[in-house]
Amino acid sequence: MTTWWWVRHGPTHRKDMIGWTDAPADLSDTGALSRLRSFLPDAPVVSSDLIRAVETANAIQCDRPRLPHSPALRELHFGAWEERRFQEFEGAEIQQLRAFWDQPGAQKAPDGESWDDIVARVSGFVDTYVGSSHVIAVAHMGAILTQVQRALGISAYDAFAHKIDPLGVTVLSRRDDDWDVRHINHFP
């Protein structure tokens, strides 16, 4: 059985769509980071290769072994919508944006990726660790939600109903195709 300890990176305080945009994390809440370090098991730490995830992983690593950063754990790529606020969309573009969120799956942002794309990317990475006992993964809301969807056997739309806050921990265990959901968005 492999238990994944998913940690969402520290806050960026951005109000726009920043999937693959490389923005730093605010790691000034030292109390939250200390509680997080104490709560997590002694296990290898892997992170997305985006700076907000790397910085957060560095802050919680301590003596834990570190695995190479992985682009497979990146957030959903918003393509042409990167660094735009929802209020900036109008006309046909707003319809496309609504379809993207209301009917997640094959819908893509222009020059970006679909929900199905990120599910395949993150799940492919997770599947390479079958047999490891514990893995701490510092990633992004979308990447974490792909595995919540998978573990609960729910639709993408229903997965979006789960909140994944910065520095929240989601703990999912997997043996073959059986999942156990211990925490979603837990704060130690």
Helix axes 30-39, 51-61, angle to 10 degrees: 70
Average pLDDT over residues 59-79: 97
What pLDDT does 131 receive?
66
> What tokens appear for 60 in the block?
């919680």
CA-CA distance, 56 to 80, in Å (whole number)?
27
Amino acid letter for position 17: M
Q: Cβ neighbours of residue 162 under 8 Å, at least 6 residues apart?
A: 145, 148, 184, 185
- Tell me the whole-structure pTM to 2 decimals: 0.95
In 3D space, the residue among 109, 90, 91, 130 whose CA is nearest the CA of residue 19 turns out to be 109
At 38-56, the pLDDT tens digits run 999 999 999 999 999 999 9
Residues 88-111 pLDDT 10s: 999 989 999 999 999 999 999 999
List of domains in the chain: 2-186 (3.40.50.1240)
Query: Once rounded to an integer, what is the mean pLDDT over residues 29-33?
Result: 97
Residues 167-185 have pLDDT tens digits of 999 999 988 889 999 999 9
CA dist., res. 102 & res. 67, Å (int): 35
Whether the CA torsion 71, 185, 43, 133 is positive or negative: it is negative
